[in-house]
A and B are shown apart, each in its own frame.
Chain A
Amino acid sequence: MAEPTIARQDFVRQTAMDSERAVVEKPLSKFERIYNVGVVRKLAILVALAVLWEAYARWLDNPLLFPTFGATVDAFVEGIVHGALLGRAWTSIRVLMMGYAAGILAAALLTVIAISSRIGTDFLETLTAMFNPLPAIALLPLALIWFGLGTGSIVFVLIHSVLWAVALNTHSGFLAVSNTLRMVGRNYGLRGLSYVARILIPAAFPSILTGFKIGWAFAWRTLIAAELVFGVSSGSGGLGWFIYENKNQLEIPSVFAGLLSVIVIGLLVENVIFRTVEMRTVRRWGMQS
């Protein structure tokens, strides 16, 4: 091998002192920091949408077709303070929680069956393939015949809407748990349910949480749709009924207020409850960025 043609000396250098070198770390400007907060950006979008709404409604000037944002907010506040809105929302949420909890329990049962044997896996996959594409609301007529006009029918269709999404996500989460983690769990001598509870469930938690979120969204939509169809159950209807009733009385701002409540509850659950759970679990653990 040929030696390089230019002769060079070795050298060792002092690195620059703190006082004389360029910035290593400096705080971002105030605007950049505020803009980096996700909530702020999303709030800005919401404000812009509200302004657009107000402007369009004023230009249209037809409160029967499209009330202004201000009128809707008025109806919303009025509904909360004097009217039935809070009670209706509570009725909806109560039924929803019953269906949601029952759906998750059923999903847990089904997933445990699925992971304990190959035929169980086939069972879950076949059932999911059959029922997941079936809209829950399509089962409502049948539910009415089986369970009558009441909470039972709604809970039945809610279970249907939650069960498959949660079971499918939980099961695929379990399947995705790395072989190393499985071996670690067995190395500790964990078996059976304690292995599922202490290794599989936390390791699959990102998928399980996704299943919960999808299941919640499905359940909420199904519930409002079901209430619109036959509304009153055991004397007090839910939000869907509130919307339907006000449409019949041509109280269009109240219809919008009802829709707004559906949206607000959806946003709160997504951005407060699920977000908090996410922050405290999968994000804290670095399992999701």
Chain B
Amino acid sequence: MNAASPLVDVRGVTLQYKTRDHLVTATYRVDFKVFPSDRFVLLGPSGCGKSTLLKAVGGYLAPVEGEIRLKDRVITRPGPDRMMVFQEFDQLLPWKTVQENVMFPLVASGRLAAAAAEEKARHYIEKVNLTRFADSFPHTLSGGMKQRVAIARGMAMEPDVLLMDEPFASLDALTRRKMQDELLQLWDDTQFTVLFVTHSIPEAIKIGSRILLLSPHPGQVKAELNSLTRDAHEAAAAQALEQRIHAMLFADAVEEQEEHSHG
């Protein structure tokens, strides 16, 4: 076990939200710890509360039971120390260019002055290979490019943890694979900590270093596994792990959950 103190510590967290006529329990007493430089994946079928859990880490939702700590401080509200990357393409501010979108949080949160923010934005835009489009407005970009801008924006803030809520789920299969590879390359550069939500088992195995399996209705921890190390990424091992996870997730599920974008 890692002797270092956890970066994100989720302790016995129960989350509830209200719809028009129901009080829904999204997760029930979930525990997990994310350590620095983890690529920590929350994996589960829809209805397991993985997105809700990520929003709670983001500070958008307060637990009714338990607590979430970031660097040993209880999270009470959203903040730029936890940058979110959403699934939706409309997460970029349409009235700002790519460059301005990446700069804006740096300046708005008072972290950097405009000149320094511009420098840093340019650096991260180059990292996601969008230098040519720095002065374009978001509506002229493809879905994959928009997600790359969102990732650059998150990384430029150099947050304690990057929160990614199914960032590639709305992309076509080819672009998704390319984006997954690029994300791993970026991780090789700076070894940032990322908390990544997905409902795709292959994506979890590919992206994650550690995988938390959640069972649905309400979301509870089913297992926490190490993913494959990246150099030992052979097809056979990946397939074996995939089958193992699949068996665990659907062990007692009679009807298989329809895979769709909401978790």
> Which residues of A are in contact with B by a Cβ distance under 8 Å?
178, 180-181, 183-184, 186-190, 194, 198-199, 202-203, 205, 281, 284-287
Contacts and interface: CB of A to CB of B under 8 A. Distances in A.
A282 to B, nearest CB: 9
B78 A180 contact: no
Nearest to B157: A188
Could you tell me the dominant secondary structure of chain A's interface residues?
helix
Nearest to A184: B91
Contact of B84 (A183, A198, A203): A183
25 contacts: A178-B88, A180-B88, A180-B90, A180-B91, A181-B91, A181-B93, A183-B78, A183-B84, A184-B84, A184-B86, A184-B91, A186-B60, A187-B58, A188-B80, A188-B109, A189-B78, A189-B109, A194-B108, A281-B95, A285-B94, A285-B139, A286-B137, A286-B139, A286-B140, A287-B95
B87 to A, nearest CB: 9
B60 A188 contact: no
Most buried by B among A187, A188, A203, A284: A187
B137 to A, nearest CB: 6
Interface in B126-147: 137-140
A187 B137 contact: no
Nearest to A178: B90
Contact of B95 (A180, A184, A190, A202): A202
Interface in B52-87: 55, 58, 60, 77-80, 82-84, 86
B78 A284 contact: no
B168 interface: no
A245 B93 CA distance: 53
A189 B78 CA distance: 7
B90 A181 contact: yes
Nearest to A199: B93
Interface residues of B, number: 25
A199 B95 CA distance: 10
A190 B78 CA distance: 9
A194 B107 CA distance: 13
B104 interface: yes
Nearest to A186: B78
Interface in B95-122: 95, 104-105, 108-109
Contacts of A190: 108
A178 B94 CA distance: 12
Nearest to B55: A183
Given A181-B93, A286-B138, A286-B140, A187 B88 contact: no
A189 B109 CA distance: 6
A281 B94 CA distance: 10
Contacts of B82: 187
A186 B108 CA distance: 11
Contacts of B139: 285-287
A281 B80 CA distance: 28
A205 B95 contact: yes
A257 B130 CA distance: 56
Most buried by A among B55, B82, B137, B140: B137
Given A178-B90, A285-B95, A187 B83 contact: yes
A206 to B, nearest CB: 10
A180 B80 CA distance: 16
Given A183-B58, A286-B139, 20 more contacts: A180-B90, A183-B60, A184-B84, A184-B86, A184-B91, A186-B77, A186-B78, A187-B80, A187-B82, A187-B83, A187-B84, A187-B105, A189-B78, A194-B108, A199-B93, A281-B95, A285-B139, A286-B137, A286-B138, A287-B94
Q: Which 7 A-B pairs have the closest CB atoms?
A: A286-B139, A186-B78, A188-B105, A180-B88, A202-B95, A285-B94, A285-B95
Contacts of A178: 88, 90
A198 B108 contact: yes
Contacts of B93: 181, 184, 199, 202-203
A183 B86 contact: yes
